[in-house]
Structures are given as structure tokens and as C-alpha cells.
Structure 1
Amino acid sequence: MSLSLSYLVNPPTETGSSIPADTDHAISVTLPTWQANVGYEEGDPSVITKMQTGYPRFFINTFIKECAAIVKRSPEVQKLSLNNYDTMLYPSKAIGQQCVKFIAEKAHIEPSALHIFDASHSLKLYLKTLDPHHNKDILIPDVFAVLFPSDLFGVAKQFWQHTGEGISSRRAVCFLHAYRMIQTITKEGSYKQSLSHLKSKSRSRYASPQDMEALQNWMSSENQSNEAEMTDVNRYLEERYGRNLDLSLATSAKIVLRRRIAGTLEDEVDLKKSLPREKESELRQIQGLTHEDVYLFPTGMSSIYNAHRILRNVLDGTRKSVCFGFCYVDTLKILEKWGAGCHFYGLGNGSQLDEFEKLLESGEKVLGLFCEFPSNPLLNTPDLVRIRQLADKYDFAVVVDETIGNFLNVEVLPYADMVVSSLTKIFSGDSNVMGGSLVLNPLGRYYGKLKEEMPKLYEDNFYDEDALTLERNSRDFADRSRVINENAEVICDLLLKSPKVKQLYYPKYNASSKNYEICKRKNGGYGGLLSVIFHNPSDARHFYDHIRVAKGPSLGTNFTLASPYTIIAHYQELDWAEENGINRNLVRVSVGMEPKNHISAVFSDALN
């Protein structure tokens, strides 16, 4: 966590600027007024042209755009003679194949019309031929491009957005860094020696002289010394002043992350030393749980997408899934667009649980029930005790998203077969890295089947630099969670006293609070997320426009972050959202770690 108080109490205010300010890998973006959010959703040029960054699953990062441009100019892609084609970048061929299948099915075209290109292999091949001595000096991360007709960009972006499987901005920076380094080697003349060496042989294990000419043209096609210099500067700043990254420690960092998530490691560790012996699970309270039951993913949505994908492979994939409660938008999209479809119970209350039970009694078989604990943005908590009873009786899996509650506040694993979480949020806190996790319950009814198949179905695509950054960020997770819990209750007290407030949504005060209390840890709290509705919609706009906190998408940040949630998440379906209890003028607040007197004054001023 940043030690600067300014980082917390002086939020960025310029439309389109990164949150946190001046951060290359920022997770959020400043939308400082209600109208700016509307403008973003409507594609208003006065907003869109100012966007320096955005939430990574919705906004394609500048570094990733640069990588895509380089890939499209590569000789292998040029050989395909593809006119009006675009590309999305992924960290593995397997994900590229899943993307191709999705586009082909949704666009009703033959998969052969789409292409997968291994961009990293092309660079590695060229480097090996160019100068074998540099092979180990330049790290080239795996990057695979899915090439598709440009008029299918909307379909391709659905896969990229919903699954969260696209390459991270740090992976893109590493690829760009390798590309620039190889450009430098080429310009220094090593290429001519390698080409002469190739021409003296009748065959090459690397590439033909013609291919080498094409590769040379690719590497020399642009003069980007300034960009290369800035890339190196940004990389230096992040490594020197941000994280002091040492990629050789990535494997240890991932083990530490998995132990921290499993609840078998609470103390800070020195990655350069041997890791301490794993303890019995102290937090999760599940016998037999170890870090081997924790799987890391590049984003929280990736963990949800893969939980659904794995269940479809291991159990009966012909069954529909269930979305219980108003889950985050992309969770519902995943359940609707992959597999057999979805039963949606948007209110997620006792009455709808009765409806679901009647569906099961009628003979309907379901694959799994997905829910959030608590839900986003209404902070309702499902009845996990009853859901677990139904799952055992009617043979379906339970997947609980604990992102908002977080495992320091609540214990949900005993009621679930899988627990997923976005590590991007409070587990990280600094809003500068994405990550996700999936935890298997070793006492779950499907554990044996899942554990047997996971080696075939899971691949580690969590980029090493992201893992190192997340490990550093999460070391003080427990302390930050405690402070945020306390601050959130202070803000709730202020809002509850205001005559302008019509409804406050917070796990402690909601009608479903008894369900939360059942899973609440002895020393746990109620989290940092709350939502508020005002009697007068204009008060919601004035409150949002004038509150002096960071304003943009995401949650779980160390600093307070506000958003007109329904506008930014459901602008194209506002009536549908309201049918499911989500007021279009709802303001969601993720409370941060600012000093209590400061944050109280900020909210009081905004309310007045």
C-alpha cells in the first residue's frame, strides 16, 4: 500500500485520468460528474477522447493496443492477406481456441475464417536467429492473437470482456520491451551477420532468408526510439519505486498468494528466503484445506468463467445454471452465453428461493448455483444454509463469489463447492493490478471429481509481474480490511442520519442481515461497500458531482471510490435493472482508508 496520505485524500479530478493518478497499470478511470458517466456510456467525444485509461476488461489499454498494432504488421500475419481484420490478444493458445469457438458460434461463421497467431514465437524465432547470445537476456512473454473480420469486433469483445482472459497491461509492456530491444539489436548490425550466415546454408532450422527479410522489415518498419525510451523509463520507475520486481521470485510469490488466500499464511514473508511450512487452515476453518486447493487467474471474471467452464466439463454440461441474486453484470452474461443457459433470480430473497425450490421439485436439474456474498450493488446476502441443503438434496454445485464480503469478514467455503474472488479489489487495494482466485472445498461433494480433472482443465495464465505486484500489495490485507470496515460504519452512520437519504444498502442493515451474521467471523466486519438512494434524484447527482473522493469504476480500493453504479453498469438496460430492484439513481461507494475526520467531513460537505 502507498504510504502517502496524499494518495488517499487528494483524488484525481480530470476526466479520463487514471485512478490512482499517474499510474500506468491503473484499474480505474476518473469520471468526475454524473454527466461524464452518461457521456462515457453514450460515446460522447468530449469524454471518450479524454480517456487515458479505463477498467481493463472494458477499455483496451494503450500498451495492449500497441502490441496489437505490432502483431498485425508481422510478416506471418501479412502472409495471410487478411483485409479488414482486427485482433484480440490472449496469454495462451487454449484461450485463443475458446475465443475462436465463441466468435464462430455467435456470429454463425466457420471457425476456418478465424486465425490464431503465436506472436511470441515469431519474436523468439527472430531473436534466436538474429543473435543467439541474447536468447536468455530478453524475456518474451506468451502472446497469442486471434484474428477476425473487423465487423465482428463487437462479438470478439464480448469474449474478451466477459471472460477477463485477455493479456494484462504488464504482459503487454514486457512484450513491447522485448520488441524494442530486438529492434535495437537489429539496428546495431547483428542482423546482417545472421542473414549472411543463413544464406551460406541450404536449409535453416529457424527461417528462410526470405522470411528473415520479412522479419527484418517488420523490426525496422518504424522509428520508435522515443516510445522505446519511455517504455524503459516507465518500467524502471515501476520496478525501482513501485515493486522492485524480481521475476525469479514469481513462483514463490504465487505460492504465498495461494497460502494467503487459503488462510494458512497470515504473516509477511521474505520471498528470497525459504518459505515457512504451511500451517493448518486457521481462517477458512475447513479440514484438509491447503494452498493446493487454490487456483490463481488473471482476473476475477476469469475465475468465474473458468469455474463455470470446469463444472460444465466435470458435471452435466447439458443442465442450465442458476444466477441467484443480482450478481455483477458479467457473471450473468457468462451463465447466459456459455453452456445450456441460465435461470435468473434477480432479487435473491427468500421468496425467490421458494420459487427455485419449486423448480427443483418439478424435476428440473441444474448444473450449479452462482451467487455473491453479499451482492453487488445492493449488498444483499443469500441464505447459504438453505442453498447448501437444496444442493445436497437435488445434486448441483454451489459457487460463491466472496469478493465483497472477503474471507477476513465472512466464512462461506463450508457452504460452497467453489469460492471465487476478484483479487483486484480489496485483497490488492492499490488499484494497479488484476487477479482472481478459485478455492475448492476439500469437503465438497464434487471435490474428488474436480481435483482429478483440474490438471487437465486449468492452466496458469496469471502473469508473473502481476503476481509479484499482487503479493506485495496484499501483505497488509488484514490491517487494511479492518480500517475499511471501521470507516464504512462511520459513513453509514452519517448517511442514515441525513433526511435526504431514502435508502442505505449495507450488509449490517439490510433485511437479509441474518444471513450475513451466520457467516460473519467473530472478529469480522461488514466490508467497505455500500449503496445509497436519495429521495430526490437530483440530490443523487449533486452528491456525486460534489463529493471530494475518487470517482470511477471498481471497488475495494484503499481510497474511497464512488460511482453512479446503475448508469455505468446497466445504461442500456435501466428498466430491466429497476425491475430487479436496482434504482437508476443509485450511488455506490467503496469506502477507503482515509482518516475518519477527513472522510466524515467530505461526506458531510457533499450531503450539504
Structure 2
Amino acid sequence: MLQALGGPVPPNTDHAVSVSLPTWRSNVGYEEQEDWVMSKMQLGYPRFFVHPSIQRLAQEVIRRHGDPNTEAATLFASQKTARICHSFIVSRCAADAAPKVRTVNFIPSPHAEATSITSTLSSVIYPKEYAPIAKQVWQHSGNGISSRRGEFCLGALEDGFLVEDKGFSTAELIAQRPCKGPRRYQGRGSLNGITRGSAHAAGSGDSPAASNGVQDGREYGQFIEERFGRNLSPSLTNQAKQAVRRRIAGVLTADVDLPAALEEKSSEGRVAGISEDDVFLYPSGMSSIFNAHQIIMAARGEKKSICFGFPYIDTLKILQKWGPGCLFYGNGSSEDLDDLENRLKNGERFLALFTEAPGNPLLKTPDLVRIRSLADQYDFAVVVDETVGNFLNINVLRYADIVVSSLTKIFSGGSNVMGGSAVLNPSGQYYQSLKETFAREYEDIYWAEDALFLERNSRDFVSRIDKINATSEDITAMLKASPLVKEVYYPKYSPTRPFYDSFRNPNGGYGGLFSVTFYSTAEAIAFYDTLEVLKGPSLGTNFTLSSPYTLLAHYGELDWAKSFGVESDLVRISVGLEDVADLRSRVQRALDAVEAARK
């Protein structure tokens, strides 16, 4: 059952979202960057570990446009997202180093225009010593390119279909650099320069030959066909995104394939008046949070925000590092709301309140009714992250101005594609100004191939949620009844359950995520190491996944996390689609190990 250290989770998946850290010791070794762990890391969670395909692309960009000995690059899909990174580095580097931080942009060559499956690429190049600063942008903003886009761009760059943007017109580009076509298709055994049945890796040939524009167009078609297969077309990509947006809007409430998703009509989604036009897709869940914050600032001006409840760490970092800062209420309690109300009464004003429903990893639920009332009275926006609850279980949109979610998690389930969404409440007090700002500021940088995987993965979203809800209630009840367990954190057993129930859908459950603590760290280690499930970061997977969450998310600030009730030896479990009896037996064996450790 246990996947080897450093291998993809799920196994044999090139674009896996998680990575195997199968023992407590390996998680500590990862945080300490110990070689026995790091040397085995084939990949990692994409915002924390740059995928090998992206690493190779960055190296190729530096080889062409930088100094491999002294410089590094961070890659984005657009000039706008690259500028955010560039500005962040410049604001934190030495004054004399600022001119060395630069952006190189790439655009499709004129010969790649035979199809609209193309990609731009923006590379921020900087001295290597500033890589930790660039990494903060990659991690917190979630705007970096995906591994599939990285593969595509590397092939396009090597084959001459992605060229540096020097501000030339199309005619000037053609005159400046005649396209010779992909190296892999040049030479003998080809028809019009296209190798018959070719399926080689990008850049495998080395016999350049001149070719004309018509031939180049056919060659790009072959390049696209090899990358995506015959069945991909721009229209299919757009349809996949539309189907995903319709599911997220709540228009679709049953398992349906793509044609049915596009044909089915409904007058009402999560709230009255909502449509897929109120849903915006992003390359990751964190990107949806980052951009929601950016867009609210663009719409309403720059003010401090509020982070309410113990959040996923990057949400807090976004609010602290971009804009005027934030007021942090880590407990998310009624006392915290009392304090906020007093501040508001005394004249303090805020841009927006960001919260999670429920929170991660303690699964506490905020009092959204009271938060909404304060927001209406004192003029601030409300942004709710529903990733853990998910919209089939709960309906929080009526209390929010924007609902954000990581589609990487349970919406996809496959752990093989990243994605995020932001949904506007059509009845929200800022709807009109936010809609206008989105129309002006939003850019769709969600990669075509990722959209296809996400749409396919999400077709059985409804039935998966029902099964995971039921299994999670069974397993948490089992753990709750065990004298070996110190605490089970799950919305059903939380003191904040009344808040959760107040916006739980009629057929909604309590989700698939819970956390558990024991009476000693040794017992927590015994449970984690013995539990026969896949181990690694992420949640919401179709298979049960576990991690020593606090170690991974807060290793450098364990005392700080503990001050908000998050124990350093907490074990988090995300329930999958396994048979409940099978999963119970695995949990029981882990509990037996706890008992042995206690003795």
C-alpha cells in the first residue's frame, strides 16, 4: 500500500499533485531539507515544489537569455502575472540588484497561428540569491504555470513556435527569423517535412532545413496533434471550461458528461440569478484567493483586510504581503467578532474579510450570519473559501460577495490537475462594481489541457461527495469512540456545528476531511506510520490521504500554530472512495499501534 518516498501520489502519474512522504520521519526530513529525502523527491505539491517539466523549461530560458551560473527564472503565463513577481522581487532586493531583475516575454511565432492552441510565456529572471523571494510569489500567488503548460512551452520553444517578444509586428517577425519548422520533423522519411507516425520528444532531431509558411502551418498542426491528440480543438477546450463553470455555479446537480452539461438548462444555481458568467477560473485555488484580493482592491481602493479563523497559511501571507496588511483573528471566535465590532464602532474600516468554511485543519466554522451583518453595516466585502466544505454540502454564497475554492481538491478528486475558481454573488452589495472590475482585470490563464482534465474528473463529483460524506461520518464516529484518541476535529463534532448546519444543504453532509490528535507524539507517530493509506500533502482525493499537517504547513512556526489550538503532532486525514469496511480495518490496525506505543 505504501508508496515509495518521493514518488508521485497517485502512483505512476506524471502530473500528480501530491508526493509520497510515507513516514513521520520523512516529513521532518523534508522540512529540514535532508538529502536522504530531497534526493528522492520526483515531484511535490506544485506551489511548493517546481515540477521537473517547469524546471527544464526555466533552464532552457536561462540558457538562451541569462547566465546559468548566476541567474534563475520563475515562469508565468502572462505579462501581468510576471509583473507581480517582478515588482515583489524588486521591492525586496538590494537597490543595485534591481536592474538585474528583468522579464523576458515569449509569444507564438507567426507560423503557430494555424490554430488557437498556443501559449504565451513570461519569464522573470533574477540573480540566484533572490530565488527564495521569487519562491514566495510562486507559492503564495498560485499564478505560476502548470506542469502541462510547461511541457507544451518547452516543446514549442525548442521547435521555434514560441519566440521572444521584441515588439515586432508579425511581418517583421517573419522577416527577422524564417521558421525552419520543428527539428524533430526535419530529415528523411517525412512527408512535407512531417515525420510519418512521429511521436518523439521535442527537440530530438538535429537536421534543420528551410521550409515555407504553408508547410510550417502543417508542421505546427502536427506538433499540436502529438501534444494533445486528434480530439482536442479550441472549441472543446472552451466547452470544457463552460461545463466546469456550470458545475461550480450549481446549475448542474447530477453526474453528467460534457454534452449533457452543455445542454441541460436550469433557472437557478446556488443562489437565485447566478449563472456560469459569475464564475471565473484560475490556475490554482490560491490564485483565486490572490486575485480576489487584487480585484477587490482595484474595485474599492486599498485598505487593510481581515483574516478570520485559523487559515490555510498562504491566505494569511497574501493579505500580509500584498496591500496595506491585515487584522488576524486566529481563533475565529465570537469574542473575536466582538473585538471586530468594537473596532468598527470606533471608526476602523476594512476592505474585506477572508475566512474558510470550515477551517483547515481544525474544521471550525465561522458565524457567517453575524459576519454578513457586520459587513453590510460597516461596508466591507466577505470572501469565503469553501474548499473543505464544498458547495454540494454547504451553501455559503448567500453570505459572501465572493466564494473561492481550490478545484484541485474534491471537485477534481484525481490529484492530477490544479485549478481554482472565484464565484460572484449576484445579490451581493458589491456585485456590480466587482463584475465591472472582473471584466476589466480578469485574464483567463487556465491552460487548455488542464481544463480538459478538470472537466473529465469532475463529471462524477456528485456521487463521489455522497460516498465520501458517508464514509467520513463512519470513520470519525469510530475514532471518536476510541479511548486512545484525544480529539477528533470534524464539523459534525465541532462546537461550531450550529453555524455549519445553518448553511448546510438539505442533502449535504459534513465533508471528507478531519483531523485527529493523540495523548503523546509517540502515539501520533505510531498511528501515522502504521496507517495503510497514501501519505502526502493535499486533500480531497479519490483515495484516502493522510499527512502530519502541522509539520508540513507550519514547521517553522509550531509554537505560533499551537497558540491557536493547532497541535504540532496533529494528523489530518482526507477520506477517499475506499470501501468503508476496508478503511475501518486499516484505521483499527493504526489504533492498535497506538495502544502498543502507549504500553
Please say whether Structure 1 and Structure 2 have the same fold, judged by a TM-score greater than 0.5.
Answer: yes
Output one character per residue of 1:337-365: Cα deviation in whole Å (capped at 9) or x when no partner: 01110100001011111111112122111
- Percent identity over the alignment? 48
The whole-number CA distance in structure 1 between the counterparts of 2:281 and 2:11 is: 28
Structure 1 position 254 matched with structure 2 position 241: yes
State the aligned residue count: 553
The whole-number CA distance in structure 2 between the counterparts of 1:65 and 1:244 is: 29
Aligned counterpart, 2:470: 486
The whole-number CA distance in structure 2 between the counterparts of 1:103 and 1:216 is: 35
Aligned counterpart, 1:147: 125
Is contact 1:335-1:342 (8 Å) kept? yes
Pairing of 1:203-602 with structure 2 (within 5 A): 205-206=172-173, 228=202, 246-267=233-254, 271=258, 275-276=262-263, 278-282=265-269, 284=270, 286-317=271-302, 319-602=303-586
The whole-number CA distance in structure 1 between the counterparts of 2:180 and 2:36 is: 41
Report the RMSD for the aligned CA atoms in angstroms. Answer: 2.9
Aligned-partner SS, 1:175: helix
How much does 1:103 deviate?
1.2
How much does 1:143 deviate?
1.4
Aligned counterpart, 2:86: 100
How much does 1:164 deviate?
0.4
User: Relative to structure 1, is the Cα distance of residues 592 and 239 closer, same or farther in structure 2, using a 3 angstrom cutoff?
Assistant: farther
- The one-letter code sitting in structure 1 at the alignment partner of 2:147 is S
The whole-number CA distance in structure 2 between the counterparts of 1:269 and 1:596 is: 25
The whole-number CA distance in structure 1 between the counterparts of 2:555 and 2:543 is: 26
Please say which of residues 563-572 and 269-278 is displaced more in the overlay: 269-278
The whole-number CA distance in structure 2 between the counterparts of 1:236 and 1:58 is: 31
Aligned-partner SS, 2:449: helix
User: Relative to structure 1, is the Cα distance of residues 37 and 238 closer, same or farther in structure 2, using a 3 angstrom cutoff?
Assistant: farther
User: Relative to structure 1, is the Cα distance of residues 22 and 448 closer, same or farther in structure 2, using a 3 angstrom cutoff?
Assistant: same
User: Relative to structure 1, is the Cα distance of residues 207 and 148 closer, same or farther in structure 2, using a 3 angstrom cutoff?
Assistant: farther
Given candidates 145, 166, 172, the residue that maps to 1:167 is: 145
Aligned counterpart, 2:34: 44
The whole-number CA distance in structure 1 between the counterparts of 2:180 and 2:69 is: 19
Aligned counterpart, 1:176: 154
Aligned counterpart, 1:194: none
The whole-number CA distance in structure 1 between the counterparts of 2:128 and 2:234 is: 36
How much does 1:179 deviate?
4.0
The whole-number CA distance in structure 2 between the counterparts of 1:213 and 1:442 is: 49
Please say which of residues 427-436 and 247-256 is displaced more in the overlay: 247-256
Is contact 2:365-2:499 (8 Å) kept? yes
How much does 1:245 deviate?
5.1
Pairing of 1:15-94 with structure 2 (within 5 A): 15-74=5-64, 77-78=65-66, 84-94=70-80
How much does 1:113 deviate?
3.3
Structure 2, unmatched stretches of 5+, are 162-169, 187-198, 205-223, 593-599
Structure 1 position 158 matched with structure 2 position 148: no
The whole-number CA distance in structure 2 between the counterparts of 1:247 and 1:597 is: 45
Aligned-partner SS, 2:172: coil
Is contact 2:159-2:182 (8 Å) kept? no
Is contact 2:415-2:541 (8 Å) kept? yes
Is contact 2:62-2:68 (8 Å) kept? no
Aligned counterpart, 1:193: none
Is contact 2:57-2:154 (8 Å) kept? yes
The whole-number CA distance in structure 1 between the counterparts of 2:562 and 2:438 is: 39
Aligned-partner SS, 1:69: helix
**TM-score, length of structure 2 as denominator length:** 0.87
The whole-number CA distance in structure 2 between the counterparts of 1:526 and 1:372 is: 14
The whole-number CA distance in structure 1 between the counterparts of 2:157 and 2:202 is: 9
The whole-number CA distance in structure 1 between the counterparts of 2:564 and 2:232 is: 45
The whole-number CA distance in structure 1 between the counterparts of 2:508 and 2:240 is: 26
Is contact 1:379-1:530 (8 Å) kept? yes
Aligned-partner SS, 1:371: strand
Is contact 1:139-1:178 (8 Å) kept? no
- The one-letter code sitting in structure 2 at the alignment partner of 1:255 is Q
Structure 1 position 14 matched with structure 2 position 8: no
Output one character per residue of 1:8-34: Cα deviation in whole Å (capped at 9) or x when no partner: xx4x42000000001011000000000
Is contact 1:138-1:178 (8 Å) kept? no
How much does 1:236 deviate?
9.6
How much does 1:270 deviate?
5.4
Is contact 2:257-2:459 (8 Å) kept? no
How much does 1:498 deviate?
1.4
The whole-number CA distance in structure 2 between the counterparts of 1:311 and 1:213 is: 44
- The one-letter code sitting in structure 1 at the alignment partner of 2:492 is K
**TM-score, length of structure 1 as denominator length:** 0.86
How much does 1:83 deviate?
6.7
How much does 1:226 deviate?
7.6
The whole-number CA distance in structure 2 between the counterparts of 1:592 and 1:294 is: 27
How much does 1:496 deviate?
1.0
Please say which of residues 295-304 and 354-363 is displaced more in the overlay: 354-363
The whole-number CA distance in structure 2 between the counterparts of 1:559 and 1:207 is: 51
Structure 1, unmatched stretches of 5+, are 1-9, 184-202
The whole-number CA distance in structure 1 between the counterparts of 2:462 and 2:181 is: 50
How much does 1:176 deviate?
2.5
How much does 1:493 deviate?
1.4
Output one character per residue of 1:551-606: Cα deviation in whole Å (capped at 9) or x when no partner: 00000001000000000000000010101111001000001110011101000011
The whole-number CA distance in structure 2 between the counterparts of 1:365 and 1:92 is: 34
Is contact 1:300-1:436 (8 Å) kept? yes
Aligned-partner SS, 1:366: coil
Output one character per residue of 1:402-455: Cα deviation in whole Å (capped at 9) or x when no partner: 000000000101100000000000000000000000000111110111111211
